[in-house]
Amino acid sequence: MPHRVVITGMGALSPLGLTVQDTWRAALAGESGIAPLESFDAAGLEVRFGGEVRGFDPSQFLDRREVRRTDRFIQLAIAAADEAMRDAGLAKGDYDPDRTGVSCGTGIGGIQTLTEQHQILLERGPERVSPLFIPMMIANMAAAQVAIRYDMRGPNMTTVTACASSAHALGEAFRRIQYGEADLMLAGGAEAVLLPLCFAGFINMKALSQRNDDPASASRPFDLDRDGFVMGEGSGMLVFEERERAIARGAHIYAEVVGYGMTADAYHIVEPAPDGDGAARAMRAALRDGGLPPESVGYINAHATATPKGDIGEANAVRSVFGAHSKNLAVSSTKSMTGHLLGAAGAVEAIFTALALYESTLPPTINLHRLDPEIDLDCVPNEARHAEVEVALTNSFGFGGQNVTLALRRADA
């Protein structure tokens, strides 16, 4: 029999706050974490706002030398991992290191280090490039550094699948426990890409919202007037634990992970399949994996980034999978408040989904004033809602057409 997997700890840093509780409180209040950029002078860019993690001090988690030797995405991952471990009531010695692992996703990795060191190369020559450039930049170093910090010697992996990265990381962590390869996994993702180069790339793709005059209302999933996504940064980490082990140690359980589906559109490098076929197949796969009838699902935390084509494709997928039951579903996009955290989005949104089940409260889609008639779903507009939900899905879709759906069940369901 496959092992059952539960969530016993969570940590997050997002544009809404520096902890899970701060992020969740702000989300339920319908607050926006989107504001003019402060981390660099964006005056020369067409888009001058984003979802920054404000007030983060890496020296609260790392000594001065470690701060100098780690990229921001690694620092965010470590901070979220620390919160998740504290929340789970775990420390070194509380687990078998050989049966404990780390699974972490990132879409881009240490691009801040890459841009800084490239500038040093151009201005000062190759001999001035840091000998730590490579281990600061490469994508697997968040998982590696977390494992070193907590002496976790079991399965260790990094997933790099654009905006689906941390959702894949969670799914693979789920599988490691389900298949008996580990007892405990620290899983999630981190992203830190709010840099001129990244903005320039997305701006020239025409992918970003242009609402410089009103950043807080720029991220408008499902709205008829949406004009692109808002780029953000952050990290989410979750403790996944074998259920019997968690119960035996008296762990606090937020939700059970019951299904994992992943597919490819095999359609286009950036555009989703317009009929939502790949997304639909991912949702069906997660339901099948969890032995869940479609009618058991009460809430979906949508990928919905506020792009014109993407939101419609996901709505088409929901209607395809759930048919008449789609009228009974609540489908919200928390990216309306956080912006799009790229490779970290799936993990942070899994936290939102677990808390929606645990607290019987659905986070809203803010900035939703005119629902696109092609979407025609209950998108929980503008205000959080009390709802007793037993099963929820969270969707994450990445450039290249890589799709992930995770199915969570209320812990006492």
Q: Would you please indicate which residues are annotated as catalytic (active-site) residues?
A: 163, 303, 340
Amino acid 311 reads D
Beta-sheet pairing, 361-362 with 385-386: antiparallel
CA 351 – CA 150 distance, rounded (Å): 22
As a whole number of Å, the end-to-end CA separation of the chain is 20
Tell me how far apart the alpha carbons of residues 7 and 114 are, in angstroms, rounded to a whole number: 34
Sign of the Cα pseudo-torsion (350, 356, 359, 360, in order): negative
Q: Which two three-digit tokens encode residue 258? A: 């019951």
3 state SS for 268-301: CCCCCCCCCHHHHHHHHHHHHHHCCCHHHEEEEE
Burial class (CB in 10 A: 0-12, 13-18, 19+), 93: exposed
Structure tokens at 83: 């919160």
In this structure, what token pair is assigned to residue 40? 């660099």
**What is the CB-side half-sphere exposure of residue 229 using CA atoms within 13 A?**
24
Query: Is 175 in a helix, a strand, or coil?
Result: helix
What share of residues in the chain are helix, strand, coil (percent, to 5)?
40, 20, 40
- The answer to whether 254 and 7 are in contact (CB under 8 A) is yes
Phi, psi angles (nearest 5°) of residue 403: -120, 140
C-alpha to C-alpha distance for 80 and 9, rounded to whole angstroms: 10
DSSP state of 165: H
Task: Determine the residue type at 343.
Answer: G
* Collapsed DSSP state (helix, strand, coil) of residue 403: strand
Pair of tokens at residue 197: 């180069």
